Chains A and B, each alone.
Chain A
């Protein structure tokens, strides 16, 4: 179709309606922010690029342009630190894209006979509809902005422990002695924690985001999460203060929203990432030189362990434990060492299912780990 600029804009704005309705139904600010981001990027492209480049736009172009816009929206999400769960975000984008195709090729031509010859313009009613949709998006965005948590910038070193009881975004700085989070919608970004028993404690809190936090010299857990939902991205946990330190422990959160640990580097602890009774995805992490296990998904946990590197673990690299259900895919496990106790379940096992656990194992790379992939005590490993 040969769109006019007004036609492009009206079509774009009204077509976002299904995604907007889904976002409103989700009752999450990130969803409305994401729809606003999709719409904003689309409109900028319409005005600055598409209108100039495409005097005629064949239908097949919707696919490459959709991929381009998806990339830009994802980049925008990261840049704006939009706390959207990736799968939901992709789903919302897919709804928006499919809706745009249905509106452009079926619904608008059906409802407005002149749609094609008017270059995508929707007439008076369509223009009013576009204004209404834009108003709802802008209103939602304004409301999200108005109720956003305050941002606190830390400078220098703060003597902790620091207790957070209200929604807020904490940025930068170094905290000695740990941080305790007891509120929903808390974000820690670029914060360093030194010393203390637990580096960051998250208790009974939802929608907590830990982004690029560094934890050094703790004596129990780097990040200790109980009955909460968290997103942990790009964290670094090193230099444990004692032999019993765990990197990240997320437990007893089965009835909470799904948690995620992504892009973390954890070195020299007893267990790198461990979960109990939790739904969690563990992806793209780098775990090194653990003395008990690299990654443990235990006690009826459910989730994916994918694209992780586990190097030089003592005894076990990745374990799906105690009635848990795990999808273990695309991981690289190198140099898992045999525990000298003689326990066969710790004989340098790269991937293990133990005690009635169910592990789906695909496309993993196992190097120099004499125990390979094994199941023990009524567990199953399917490939």
Chain B
């Protein structure tokens, strides 16, 4: 085995598909994970907030090549140019069902099951010629994609249900947060007939994607990568501000509810029967036991809550001509600010493929 992927979520699967596209046989890759279905965790969370559409656009799928995107596929399936027209005007957001169906189809084509091993890795160690995973190996190239290190629950509301956990809506609901999940929950609760109290620390930021578009390409990344450490961290903090897209689909139901007195912003739940914490995930590698152990064992460079990575998402001190340690997903933000998006997963996957296939 030359390559190991630690984790079995979307980022892991995007990396796996990319390696297979690069010509690596399934027998040379092992995926260590806790879920055989790479979409299971994400699917559960999306279902919890009743998400219908992706925030990403046509190229927000897990296949290695951006083309054909989901808009092209939908246009071909429906024999309609409408998805393409919406895509060129940045108004196309694939449905969650389409995204998942495409992921399932890709999974069956790539041979994921042949490489998957049901095992939670607890320790990664650098050794001559690669890395051992819980003593197994060595693997020359390892990519860590362990995902978000747990849900963030506000201390002020210990009884709150998290938005990403299955739940229904009471008749009066307080929703904590101001990001995409919170905005989705406002609409869900209103649609369910509930009265909504929005609890937020700041006014929501309206942005089509998680981060401004230039940060998805070298154009914005070049300045980010060359910035001094603290400025880079400051940029990441700023980009972490919760946001959701602009548009009437988001605003109209809220405005209508405000007019009817069913939606208001308050500092406390104010008698709400239910509190929903749409507060996202815990931040920082310290919350991930595997990464925390790896950092401590090899004294890896860090800054604040971030693992310091090279622009190609690798850990510089443990990567050379013969071996690669890459980080994908939210823990890879030091290389790619939108690391917890599909584009971020692919960014790390592309760099990992270049290294894994070059030294094959």
> What separation, in Å, do the CA atoms of A4 and B220 have in the docked complex?
9
Q: A55-B214, A110-B66, A113-B64 are in contact. List 11 more A-B contacts (CB 8 A).
A: A2-B218, A3-B217, A7-B219, A59-B90, A109-B59, A109-B67, A110-B67, A113-B346, A115-B66, A117-B216, A119-B217
Question: In the complex, what residues of B have CB within 8 A of residue A106's CB?
Answer: 67-68
Find out whether the CB atom of A117 lies under 8 angstroms from the CB atom of B350. Answer: yes
Among all A-B residue pairs, the 3 with the closest Cβ atoms: A59-B88, A109-B66, A2-B219
> What separation, in Å, do the CA atoms of A169 and B64 have in the docked complex?
56
Find out whether the CB atom of A118 lies under 8 angstroms from the CB atom of B64. Answer: no
- What is the interface residue range for chain B against chain A? 20 to 34
Q: Is B65 an interface residue (CB 8 A)?
A: yes
Find out whether the CB atom of A118 lies under 8 angstroms from the CB atom of B66. Answer: no
Interface string of B17-44 (1 = CB under 8 A from A): 0100100000000000000000000000
Distance (whole angstroms) from the CB of B181 to the closest CB of chain A: 25
Closest A residue to B66 using CB positions: A109
Interface string of A262-287 (1 = CB under 8 A from B): 00000000000000000000000000
Closest A residue to B21 using CB positions: A113
Offer 6 A-B interface pairs, CB within 8 angstroms, sorted by A. Answer: A58-B89, A106-B68, A109-B66, A110-B67, A116-B59, A117-B217
Q: Which residue, A105, A107, A117, A121, has most C-beta atoms of chain B within 10 A?
A: A117
Knowing A105-B67, A110-B65 touch, does A118 contact B214 (C-beta < 8 A)? no
Find out whether the CB atom of A7 lies under 8 angstroms from the CB atom of B67. Answer: no
Q: Is B347 an interface residue (CB 8 A)?
A: yes
Find out whether the CB atom of A55 lies under 8 angstroms from the CB atom of B65. Answer: no
- What is the interface residue range for chain A against chain B? 20 to 34
Question: In the complex, what residues of A have CB within 8 A of residue B347's CB?
Answer: 117
Number of A-B contacts (CB under 8 A): 74
> What separation, in Å, do the CA atoms of A62 and B87 have in the docked complex?
13
Find out whether the CB atom of B88 lies under 8 angstroms from the CB atom of A118. Answer: no
Question: In the complex, what residues of B have CB within 8 A of residue A115's CB?
Answer: 66
> What separation, in Å, do the CA atoms of A244 and B68 have in the docked complex?
67
Q: Is B343 an interface residue (CB 8 A)?
A: yes
Q: Is B76 an interface residue (CB 8 A)?
A: no
Find out whether the CB atom of A60 lies under 8 angstroms from the CB atom of B343. Answer: no
Q: Is B167 an interface residue (CB 8 A)?
A: no
Among the listed A58, A105, A107, A118, which residue makes an inter-chain contact with B217, where contact means beta carbons less than 8 Å apart?
Answer: A118
Q: Is B231 an interface residue (CB 8 A)?
A: no
Find out whether the CB atom of A114 lies under 8 angstroms from the CB atom of B350. Answer: yes
Find out whether the CB atom of B217 lies under 8 angstroms from the CB atom of A116. Answer: yes
Interface string of B36-79 (1 = CB under 8 A from A): 00000000000000000000000100001111100000000000
Q: Is A145 an interface residue (CB 8 A)?
A: no
> What separation, in Å, do the CA atoms of A140 and B90 have in the docked complex?
39
Distance (whole angstroms) from the CB of B276 to the closest CB of chain A: 34
Question: In the complex, what residues of B have CB within 8 A of residue A110's CB?
Answer: 65-67
Q: Is B297 an interface residue (CB 8 A)?
A: no
> What separation, in Å, do the CA atoms of A7 and B222 have in the docked complex?
13
Question: In the complex, what residues of B have CB within 8 A of residue A258's CB?
Answer: none
> What separation, in Å, do the CA atoms of A268 and B347 have in the docked complex?
74
* Complex interface residues of chain A between 1 and 50 (CB less than 8 A to chain B): 1-4, 7
Distance (whole angstroms) from the CB of B118 to the closest CB of chain A: 29
> What separation, in Å, do the CA atoms of A43 and B66 have in the docked complex?
26
Find out whether the CB atom of B66 lies under 8 angstroms from the CB atom of A4. Answer: no
Closest A residue to B219 using CB positions: A2
Interface string of B255-296 (1 = CB under 8 A from A): 000000000000000000000000000000000000000000
Q: Is B305 an interface residue (CB 8 A)?
A: no
Question: In the complex, what residues of B have CB within 8 A of residue A62's CB?
Answer: 88
Interface string of A80-122 (1 = CB under 8 A from B): 0000000000000000000000000111011001111111010
> What separation, in Å, do the CA atoms of A2 and B65 have in the docked complex?
18
> What separation, in Å, do the CA atoms of A7 and B218 have in the docked complex?
10
Distance (whole angstroms) from the CB of B38 to the closest CB of chain A: 19
Find out whether the CB atom of B218 lies under 8 angstroms from the CB atom of A4. Answer: yes
Find out whether the CB atom of B65 lies under 8 angstroms from the CB atom of A119. Answer: no
> What separation, in Å, do the CA atoms of A358 and B154 have in the docked complex?
84
Among the listed B59, B67, B88, which residue makes an inter-chain contact with A58, where contact means beta carbons less than 8 Å apart?
Answer: B88
> What separation, in Å, do the CA atoms of A117 and B344 have in the docked complex?
10
> What separation, in Å, do the CA atoms of A77 and B218 have in the docked complex?
36
> What separation, in Å, do the CA atoms of A116 and B221 have in the docked complex?
12
Question: In the complex, what residues of B have CB within 8 A of residue A117's CB?
Answer: 216-218, 221, 343, 346-347, 350
Closest A residue to B85 using CB positions: A60
Question: In the complex, what residues of B have CB within 8 A of residue A3's CB?
Answer: 217, 219
Knowing A106-B68, A110-B65 touch, does A116 contact B21 (C-beta < 8 A)? no
Closest B residue to A63 using CB positions: B88
Among the listed B21, B89, B212, B219, which residue makes an inter-chain contact with A119, where contact means beta carbons less than 8 Å apart?
Answer: B219
Q: Is B213 an interface residue (CB 8 A)?
A: yes
> What separation, in Å, do the CA atoms of A117 and B221 have in the docked complex?
9
Among the listed B87, B214, B346, which residue makes an inter-chain contact with A2, where contact means beta carbons less than 8 Å apart?
Answer: B214
Find out whether the CB atom of A56 lies under 8 angstroms from the CB atom of B214. Answer: yes
Find out whether the CB atom of B222 lies under 8 angstroms from the CB atom of A4. Answer: yes
Find out whether the CB atom of B343 lies under 8 angstroms from the CB atom of A59. Answer: no
Find out whether the CB atom of A121 lies under 8 angstroms from the CB atom of B214. Answer: no
Question: In the complex, what residues of A have CB within 8 A of residue B65's CB?
Answer: 109-110, 113
Closest B residue to A105 using CB positions: B67
> What separation, in Å, do the CA atoms of A278 and B217 have in the docked complex?
56
* Complex interface residues of chain B between 309 and 360 (CB less than 8 A to chain A): 343, 346-347, 350, 353
Find out whether the CB atom of A116 lies under 8 angstroms from the CB atom of B18. Answer: no
Interface string of B117-154 (1 = CB under 8 A from A): 00000000000000000000000000000000000000
Distance (whole angstroms) from the CB of A171 to the closest CB of chain B: 47
Closest A residue to B63 using CB positions: A113
Find out whether the CB atom of B350 lies under 8 angstroms from the CB atom of A56. Answer: no
* Complex interface residues of chain B between 193 and 244 (CB less than 8 A to chain A): 212-214, 216-222
> What separation, in Å, do the CA atoms of A55 and B27 have in the docked complex?
43
Find out whether the CB atom of A116 lies under 8 angstroms from the CB atom of B66. Answer: yes
